[in-house]
A = this chain, B = another copy of it.
Amino acid sequence: MTTKADAIKPSSLSFQKKEMKEVKPAAEVRPWVDEDLQDDTEIRTKEEDDGDWVESGGEEELAHVPYLASRYPVEVMVQRSQDFYSLMNQRRSVRFISPEPVPRQVIDNVIRTAGTAPSGAHTEPWTFVVVSDPEVKHQIRLVVEEEEEVNYRQRMGDKWVSDLQRLRTNWVKQYLDEAPYLVLVFKQTYGVVDGGQKKTHYYNEISVSISCGLLLAALQNAGLVTVTTTPLNCGPQLRLLLRRPANEKLLMLLPVGYPAPDATVPDLTRKPLNDIMVHL
């Protein structure tokens, strides 16, 4: 089947519009934060709204083609849903990753899979920076560990110094050197149209997070592991290190590889269906 695409349908946004005035002032004060904030809160101006609507309208006006789907007999469908759940339910966040090489072709396919996610107004607002260069991986580790250390120092205060050893195990991120690939997922908070004007990408964080869900499914399906981390405060430094443009913000960092032979995971359980689903 040829490559197709789709878009999250935005709804009316009068609330966000009203909020804008209250948050805007922060912009001048701390640009970094404001850009992140603006992104997270999906703040938009009237003009941007019109632009977005025109864009959505544009999609509506595109030629429609028949949707051809594979349909399974009921018993096959039920079995497939059960098997997929069983496979996904074996996924865990693994922090012990083997340095053995992983076929690049597999990485390409899991990123392609992430790129099939729906997105607001079909903006496809994601950039996946895949790092295998040992030196770049180490630079990333230094940035992330520095942020983490600041964290723990702030939290522990004086206790920190005496507690050094125990704490190191918390902020030291060996997998950032050892994993054959680091996938840094950036959300594109706006695009630049022909006139050079910025066009806000609505719902970009939701869209990119959905694509990360598909990425996790693809990795699990291939027998690879990762741990979903959100080093938000490292974003600006890592963006500069990786030479990404200003409209891209780091959303997640995923070390990818085979699990280490002696990998362990916390002995946690998941909520049963009745705790997460309500049927009406």
Contact = CB atoms under 8 A, between A and B. Distances in A.
A103 to B, nearest CB: 6
B230 A8 contact: yes
A105 interface: yes
Nearest to A111: B277
Q: How many subunits of this chain does the assembly comprise?
A: 2
A129 B154 CA distance: 40
A179 interface: no
Contacts of A89: 1, 3-4, 112-113, 116
A103 B77 CA distance: 9
Q: How many interface residues does chain A have, given as a range?
A: 35 or more
Given A92-B6, A213-B214, A222-B77, A13 B232 contact: yes
A109 interface: yes
Nearest to A221: B84
B218 A203 contact: no
Contacts of A86: 1
B147 A118 contact: no
A103 B80 contact: no
Given A71-B258, A81-B110, A106-B77, A270 B3 contact: yes
6 contacts: A4-B92, A7-B268, A77-B222, A80-B222, A85-B110, A111-B273
